[in-house]
Amino acid sequence: MTITKLPSTHEGQRPEYPSGDLCRPAELIPGVDVSGMVDADNGLVDRAIFTDHRLYQQEQARVFAASWLFLGHADQLAKPGDFFTTFMGEDPVIVAKDKSGRIRAYLNSCRHRGARVLRADYGATRAFTCTYHGWSYDLEGTLTSVPNEDGYPQGEWDRAQWGLLEVAQLDTVLGLIFATWNPEAPPLLDQLGDMKWYMEAFLDRDSEGTTVVGGITKWVLKGNWKLAAEQFGTDWYHVNMSHASALMVLSPTGKGPKAEIADTRGRQYSDERGNGTGFPTHPKSRFDAQPVHEYYDYAALRKRLGDARAEGPMTTAHATVFPNFSYLPVNGSIRVWHPKGPDAMEVWAWTVLDRSMPEEVRNAQRLYNLRTFGPSGIFEQDDGENWSEIQAISHGWRTNTLPLNYQMGIGSERHDSDYPGSTSGLYSDSAGRRFYRRWAELMNTPAWHERGE
Ligand code: FES
Ligand code: FE
C-alpha cells in the first residue's frame, strides 16, 4: 500500500497574531457610546446599563478586562502547588503558587480545545492536567506533556507556544490578591489611592495581618452585578428602611433603628477611580458581635490606626473597590460580585479575621457574618430582594427608558482634614456617581487589546 502525504492545508493560511503569542486582539462588536446613559454630573443613570446584552459584552471587554480584579485571600495558598479557582469577569482563572512560592494566575482554559484545566474549587497539585485529552502544564503554566505528541507536524509544532495564558499583572495588598489582564493598568496601589487608608482600618488592625476562615460561601442572585457593587460603595441611605427588622433584632437597646441608626453623622469617601466607602461616626451605630467587641483593645487600635479610623471605618462601614470587590468590616465580610449575564450575579463571600484572634472569637465572628450577611443572613436577604426586584421589572419598555436617580449630596463633596481624599455626608450618592462615571469612561475607551498594536 502506498501512502501519499497530503500537502498541509494550513500552509500560507496561518492567521496573523500581532501580539506574537497566538492571541488575536478581541475586536468588539462596535463599541456602544454610553455617554447618554450615564450623566454623573446630574446624577442620572439609564436602566439599559443593567439589562442590555451588547453593553454586557462590552463591559466584559472594557471594564473587567481593563481593571484590577479581586481574586482571593493570600492565606488560601500556603505552599507551592496550592491552588484555587475563581473568575475574572466571566473568564475562569487558576490562582496558584509556583515552585518558587510566587502567586501566579492563569486563564483556566486548556489551550487545546478549551476545557477547564482545573475543575476543583481548590486543592494542591504538581501539575495542571486537563481531563479532556491529557495536556499537562507545570506550575509555571508551561505545557510540559502532550499525549501522542508525535502526531503533531514535525518541525512546525512548537509546544512552548501553547502554555497557559497568564494575567498581565498580579499584586497583593493587605493580604488580598488582585490581578488584571491589562498590561497598561497603573499599579494596584495607584488604583486604590486613598482608598487603601480606609481599607487598613479593617485589614490592618493586627500586626500579624488577617486570615480567612470557613471557606467561601457562594450563591446566585437575580440582578445585575452593578446594583450590588454600587450599593456597597455608596448606599447607607437604605439601611433604616430595608433593614428595619434586622436592626430591631440586633439593637443594643432593643429600640431599633430610630434610636440607634437614624443618626446621619458620618462620611462617605469616593474617588475618580470608582472606589467608595461610607461609615457612621456615631458610636450608637455600631452593631458588632459582642465577643468581637470585647476582644478589641480600642485604646491600642486608636494608637495603631489613629482616632479617625477607630470608629466608623473600622466597624460599621460599607465599601466597594471598583469594579466588583466589596467589604463590611463589622462582620469581617469580603465579597466579590461575579457577573453572570446582565441579569444575574454570583456572590462569593469570605469571613476575614485578624490572625491573632483566639479560636472562640474567630468562631463568634464567622457565625455573626453568616447570620447577618450569609446567603440567608438577616441583612443579606433584604439587599438581595431589592436588587432582584429592580432587575425583574427593568426589562419593560417604560421602566427601561426611565432614568434612575443618584442626586443625593450633589456638590457636597469636600476635603476634610480628618479623612484623606474627597468625602461627602453619610447619606449621599457621591460614590455612586463616581462609580458610574468611571464605568462609563472605561466603556467609552477602546481597551489595549482592541488597538491591535
Ligand atoms: Fe485539554 Fe484537549 S481540551 S487536552
Ligand atoms: Fe444593605
Superfamily of domain 193-443: Naphthalene 1,2-dioxygenase Alpha Subunit; Chain A, domain 1 (3.90.380.10)
The preferred substitution site among 128, 133, 146 for testing ligand 1, maximizing ligand atoms within 8 Å of CB, is 133
Q: Can you state the angle between helices 225-234 and 380-393, rounded to 10 degrees?
A: 130
The preferred substitution site among 111, 116, 132, 152 for testing ligand 1, maximizing ligand atoms within 8 Å of CB, is 132
Decide: 146 in ligand 1 pocket, CB within 6 A. no
Distance 56 CA to ligand 1 centre (A): 29
The whole-angstrom separation of Cα 380 and Cα 302 is: 30
Return the ligand number nearest the Cα of 316: 2
DSSP result, 56-92: HHHHIIIIITTS-EEEEEGGG--STTEEEEEEETTEE
- Ligand 1 atom closest to the Cα of residue 113 is 3
- Ligand 1 atom closest to the Cα of residue 110 is 1
Instruction: Tell me if the pTM is above 0.85.
Output: yes
**Whose alpha carbon is nearest atom 4 of ligand 1?**
133
The whole-angstrom separation of Cα 95 and Cα 76 is: 10
Distance 131 CA to ligand 1 centre (A): 7
Contact (Cβ atoms closer than 8 angstroms) between residue 403 and residue 38: no
User: What CATH number does domain 69-172 carry, 2.102.10.10, 2.170.190.11, 1.10.10.10, 1.10.10.60?
Assistant: 2.102.10.10
Which three three-digit cell numbers place residue 206? Answer: 493586627
Which helix (H) or strand (E) is 368 found in, with range?
helix 359-373
Return the ligand number nearest the Cα of 242: 2
**Whose alpha carbon is nearest atom 3 of ligand 1?**
113
Which helix (H) or strand (E) is 328 found in, with range?
strand 325-328
Nearest to 49 by CA among 338, 277, 270, 343: 343
- Ligand 1 atom closest to the Cα of residue 130 is 1
Domain ranges of the chain: 69-172, 193-443
Q: Residue 219: which residues within 8 A CB-CB, separation 6 or more?
A: 346, 347, 375
**Whose alpha carbon is nearest atom 2 of ligand 1?**
133
Return the ligand number nearest the Cα of 128: 1
Decide: 135 in ligand 1 pocket, CB within 6 A. yes
Decide: 83 in ligand 1 pocket, CB within 6 A. no
Decide: 113 in ligand 1 pocket, CB within 6 A. yes
The preferred substitution site among 94, 107, 110 for testing ligand 1, maximizing ligand atoms within 8 Å of CB, is 110
Return the ligand number nearest the Cα of 244: 2
Which three three-digit cell numbers place residue 324? Answer: 466588583
Encode the chain (453 residues) as per-residue pLDDT tens digits. 444 444 444 444 444 444 445 555 555 556 899 999 999 999 999 999 999 999 999 999 999 999 999 999 999 999 999 999 999 999 999 999 999 999 999 999 999 999 999 999 999 999 999 999 999 999 999 999 999 999 999 888 899 999 999 999 999 999 999 999 999 999 999 999 999 999 999 999 999 999 999 999 999 999 999 999 999 999 999 998 999 888 888 776 666 666 666 678 899 999 999 999 999 887 666 678 889 989 999 899 999 999 888 876 777 899 999 999 999 999 999 999 999 999 999 999 999 999 999 999 999 999 999 999 999 999 999 999 999 999 999 999 999 999 999 999 999 999 998 999 999 999 999 999 999 999 999 999 999 888 765
Decide: 116 in ligand 1 pocket, CB within 6 A. no
Return the ligand number nearest the Cα of 108: 1
- Ligand 1 atom closest to the Cα of residue 134 is 4
The whole-angstrom separation of Cα 239 and Cα 178 is: 29
